[in-house]
Amino acid sequence: MENIIYKIIESQSKKVFETADILSNIERKLGSENFELKGGYRTFAHVIEQFCEEGMITPVKASGTNGRNPSLYNKYRILIKDKKQLDDELLHELQSLHPKLDKSYYYKNPEAYREDRDYVLMLSKYLLEDFENKSLKFRCTMNERSFEIFNNEKFLESRGKVLLKRLGLSFTDLNCYKTLEAFFYILFQPKDKLNILIIENKDTFYSALKYLERRPDKDLCGVNIDMLIYGEGKKIVNSFSFINEVATGTSIDRVYYFGDLDFEGIGIFNSMASKYGTHLIVPHVNLYRQMLAEAKNPPKIRTKQSDICLDLFLMYFDEESKKKISEILYNGRYIPQEAVNFGRKINI
């Protein structure tokens, strides 16, 4: 979604854009369902905030905020465009950069080149000298490569991402990779094919772990669990990529998700399914049905949450469960994972 938003903003003819117009534009381009699968408004807001941090746009604070969660300003000023001409000396310098660097963005945005110039020259010099030192032949982490090129191990992680985009390069071109954030997991028994259960909260993770340790067959509500992962809330959306390190050479049959029955918990599931595939990530339906059976009087939600589309999550449930879940959430109530007591319910 980030690249599409970037292109839409870059194509604007005016210096200031309406947030609602960009949002409407991207929903049309992706389609409503695909937009929600990619994280919907939350992802859109995150990208806009990221562009602000990277100095590509800046809020017009006088325009006020849109009242959504997370809130955005109604208008933003575009900073990535400046049509001033490059002087002959800088133009010649730009033309002499390493041929692998795409200079078209800087020809159109000369002021951006003046701002990025020191870093562009460092990168060009590194690529030109690599013919002799062959450093790019050896793969390394993003921070290691960042220090090697820019004498700053954090540059590629922050401002460097925009720089590479402007120059038409990727981390692959620099033969480096971003290290994955690890998650905490328990592998009960190595198998050729794994059934994985991700649990959103810590207390429920430990309760489920103790329960499964008492079960030789590792059955939990009709599903045999081979690996248990502590999701740590939203963190799992990005950290789940670490599974490629953990399960090298092992195929994954299914990844079951179990979180709080509220918009935020279901939003995490939607993000997981969007990023890793609906064929792989599914809700642990029987555990959610257990929640519904346990919580006779669901409490009112204590934090402000934005409504999200429930269709992707509810498609796995029977009609009665769909109706109950919708009524609970749209009436401002929720059910925490802790409603399922693994200690008491030995025979779930």
Query: For position 134, what pLDDT does the model report?
Result: 81
Tokens read off for 31: 């389609």
Does residue 345 carry a pLDDT above 70?
no
Q: What is the pLDDT of residues 255-310, one digit of tens each?
A: 999 999 999 999 999 999 999 988 899 999 999 999 999 988 999 988 888 888 89
| pLDDT of amino acid 306 | 84
* Domains of the chain, residue spans: 2-78, 88-177, 184-339
Residue 283, strand partner residues: 257
Q: Report pLDDT for 95.
A: 86
275: helix, strand or coil: helix
| 301: three-class secondary structure by DSSP | coil
85-144 pLDDT, tens digit each: 567 788 888 888 999 999 888 887 888 888 899 999 999 999 998 766 688 889 898 999
Q: Would the pTM count as exceeding 0.75? A: no
So what's the pLDDT on residue 53? Answer: 82
236-251 residue pLDDT tens = 998 888 888 787 778 8
Residue 37 is predicted with a pLDDT of: 84
- pLDDT at position 348 is 42
pLDDT tens digit string along 158-199?
Answer: 889 999 999 999 999 999 988 777 788 888 877 888 999 999
**What pLDDT is recorded for position 346?**
46
User: For the sheet containing 75-78, what is the strand order?
Assistant: 16-18, 75-78, 57-59
Instruction: Pull the structure tokens for residue 18.
Output: 């309406």
**CA pair distance 346, 212, nearest whole angstrom:** 10
CA atoms 80, 85, 89, 91: torsion sign:
positive
CATH class of 184-339: alpha beta
Q: What is the 3-state secondary structure (H, E, C) of 20-79?
A: HHHHHHHHHHHCHHHHHHCCHHHHHHHHHHHHHHCCCEEECHHHCECCCCCCCECEEEEC
110: enclosing H helix or E strand: helix 110-133
Say yes or no to pLDDT of 81 above 60. Answer: no
- Bridge partners for 198 per DSSP: 229, 257
What does the pLDDT read at residue 200?
Answer: 93
Going edge to edge, which strands form the sheet with 251-258? 184-187, 227-230, 193-199, 251-258, 281-283
Q: Minimal CA–CA distance to 126: which of 98, 153, 152, 103?
A: 98
Q: What share of the chain is helix, strand, coil (3-state, %, to 5)?
A: 50, 15, 35
Q: What is the band of 82 on the pLDDT scale with cuts at 50, 70, 90?
A: very low
Residue 55 has pLDDT above 90, yes or no: no
pLDDT of residue 83: 42
CA distances from 216 to 19, 43, 221, 223, 237 (A): 55, 41, 14, 13, 30
Amino acid sitting at position 193: K
Close Cβ partners of 334 (under 8 Å, ≥ 6 residues apart)? 260, 261, 262, 298, 299, 300, 301, 328
Q: What is the pLDDT of residue 270?
A: 94
Note whether 83 and 15 are within 8 A (CB): no
E strands along the chain, which residues?
16-18, 57-59, 75-78, 140-141, 176-177, 184-187, 193-199, 219-220, 223-224, 227-230, 251-258, 281-283
